[in-house]
Amino acid sequence: MIQESNKKELLLWLLRLRQRFCVTGLSMFPVLKPGEEVLVDTRAYRHFLPEIGDLVVAKHPHRQDLRIIKWVALVDEKGNCFLLGENKEESSDSRSFGVVSSQQIIGRVTSRFPEYNQ
């Protein structure tokens, strides 16, 4: 379960220590729906490798203009990560494109950005 952004996370975003990403596809449904936004700690893996179970934003290995949100399912000794989506039917993940290096991971999702209805 992804927590809603709290005051600390929103302050870190305002201080530019979190980056905001919008979900566009169904690969993480029902955990994340298209149009929802998340905050990402882009400094999370400066000194440590991702861990199994982390939700991350990464560069797609075959389309560098595309960003993907996936679960880390495996990390090998070389720092390569096997990434999986939540929705197996709608997911383009490591089962189709293989492992990604830890350098392709942009950061760890820390929270869901609050939704404000007007």
pLDDT digits (tens, 9 = 90+) for 41-93: 999 999 999 999 999 999 998 988 999 999 999 999 999 999 999 988 777 88
Q: Which domains does the chain have, with CATH numbers?
A: 7-112 (2.10.109.10)
This model's pTM is above 0.95:
no
Q: Determine which helix (DSSP H) or strand (DSSP E) holds 12, and give its type and residue range.
A: helix 7-14
DSSP string, 96-112: HH--EEGGGEEEEEEEE
Distance CA 83, CA 75 (A): 9
Distance CA 36, CA 28 (A): 11
